[in-house]
Amino acid sequence: MNVRGTQKTPHNSVSSVLDEIFDNPGTRTYVMGVINVTPDSFSDGGLYFSEDAALAGAATLSEEGADILDIGAESSRPGAQPLTFEEERKRLFPLLDRIVERVAKPLSIDTYKTEVARMALGAGVSIVNDITALRGDPEMGELVANARCPVVLMHMLGAPATMQDNPVYRSVVDDLCSFFEERIAYAESLGINRIIVDPGIGFGKTLEHNLEIIRNLSKFRQFGRPVLIGVSRKTFIGKILGTPVHDRLEGTAAAVTVSIMNGVDIVRVHDVKEMVRVARVTDAILGRGRH
């Protein structure tokens, strides 16, 4: 396995999806399917914890129409404690090698640890999804720049263990825009060009903060970068509907629809088949996409 920070050459189908996202923004909505190789993630913890289950899950989500698969081994649910590098490595390898061989879709590694990202890129992963926006590990930015891979910069207030302890903003949308202005400038200073912004729904935000962000997603388009959002089964939906995590499909569909109409490019979801349909119909109403 290559762990020196260079990427395997991606399949043509992988390259074409990434080129379309960055070179032809607004063409359609892209669906990112979630594979959590964890025993404790808030929604699907344990579902993909075994290697065979994760491999089968990745194949299923790909067949259901996911454009990208986002794979992570450390839970970032509210209150979660950090995972050691060694445990994260054990959960991901050789799983990632097997998924790359089986699924011809862009893969994203959900990690803030440089060495985990380095190994994932060496295995053939295409995107680094960093919930700390390159703040968690001082060497991550250099790795992404050298690998010349896309990066997701997500906003999070604090850390997962404490992020929901009374989050306060002067103005949540303005504060997030200032955050992205600084983080994008930092990434660009390192030579990183392919940047995706994610406002981090539920990561240090109250119900009202989350709703305000979704209402104003169009403001994040000012950076000229693809916008990603993860609303799938989130707590704010449960608070509105009074439903447990596995009974939030309709709420997720509503949040995904509004997010697309307000300008997001990528939706990160657990229920891929259903949200592919939601995205396709919403794109048709907006006069874009393939339908």
CATH of residue 212: 3.20.20.20
Give how many domains the chain has, as a whole number.
1
Nearest to 226 by CA among 18, 34, 14: 18
Cis omega (within 30 of 0) for bond into 244: no
Give Cα separations from 165 to 138, 172, 179, 205, 206 (angstroms). 26, 16, 20, 9, 10
Residue 290 lies in a domain: no
Residue 237 confidence (pLDDT): 98
Contact 219, 177 (CB under 8 A): yes
Known catalytic residue: 234?
yes
Residue 289 lies in a domain: no
Give the tens place of pLDDT for each residue, 124-158.
999 999 999 999 999 999 999 999 999 999 999 98
Contacts within 8 Å (CB) and 24+ apart, 285-291: 286/260, 286/261, 288/26, 288/27, 288/28, 289/27, 289/28, 289/29, 290/28
Residue 26 lies in a domain: yes
Query: Which residues constitute the domain of residue 233?
Result: 12-284
Give Cα separations from 156 to 63, 75, 133 (angstroms). 32, 14, 8
Residue 197 lies in a domain: yes
* N-to-C CA span, the chain: 40
Residue 160 lies in a domain: yes
- Spatial neighbors of 120 by CB under 8 A, at least 6 apart, are 92, 96, 107, 109, 111, 128
Residue 6 lies in a domain: no
User: Cα separation of 11 and 110, whole Å?
Assistant: 20
Catalytic residue from among 105, 118, 194, 268: 268
User: Cα separation of 12 and 112, whole Å?
Assistant: 27
Taking the chain (291 residues) in consecutive chunks of 10 residues, what is each chunk's mean pLDDT?
50 84 92 87 56 92 97 80 89 93 95 97 97 97 98 92 87 98 98 98 96 98 97 97 96 98 97 98 91 52
Residue 5 lies in a domain: no
User: Cα separation of 18 and 12, whole Å?
Assistant: 10
Catalytic residue from among 219, 234, 239, 277: 234
Give the tens place of pLDDT for each residue, 169-201.
999 999 999 999 999 999 999 999 999 999 999
Residue 3 lies in a domain: no
Q: Which helix (H) or strand (E) holds 261?
A: helix 249-261
Known catalytic residue: 90?
no
